[in-house]
Structures are given as structure tokens and as C-alpha cells.
Amino acid sequence: MPYNRVNILRHYRAIVEETKQHYDPDVTTYKGVWRKYIYPVYHISYSRYMTIISTPKLESLLEAEEKKHGKWKDPAQGSLF
């Protein structure tokens, strides 16, 4: 199976959504959100976190990869055949 970035981009999307949920420009900082919500769950460095947050057009990249490789079924749903 060739390498694709679908799972990486889904991981990035989850991190961005978590940041949007907890970030308030008047009250919090990205470092505070990373320290309290992102690092305990995803165990990524702050510099990696900032790279993920600054990824332009994340949704369009994910759609392009899914279109290229096809949408996968949920891996938790196993098949006997």
C-alpha cells in the first residue's frame, strides 16, 4: 500500500478543532492551550503544535488526499471477508 497522508491530516484536524474549542484571543495564549489541553492528549512538542496550527488550507488538503486515495471505512469496523 502506498504512503498517504490521510491519517496525519485527520490528526492535524483534531488538534486544530481542539485548539478552536479552547482558544480565546483575549484570555488565553497558544502556549497555554498547548500546555493544558494538547500536550496531555497528543504528546507533541510546542514547535510541532505551532507548525500544525499554521498549516494553510488543512481541510482542502485532507479532501484532496481522500479523493486521491478514496475514503476509508472506519478501521474499528472489521470485516470477516
**Stated pTM of the model:** 0.75
For residue 69, with 0-12 CB atoms within 10 Å meaning exposed, 13-18 middle and 19 or more buried, which class applies? Answer: middle
Quick: pLDDT tens for 3-47: 678 888 889 999 999 999 999 988 889 999 999 999 999 999 999
Contacts of 7 (CB under 8 A, 6+ apart): none
C-alpha cell at 30: 497558544
Name the residue with cell 496531555. 40
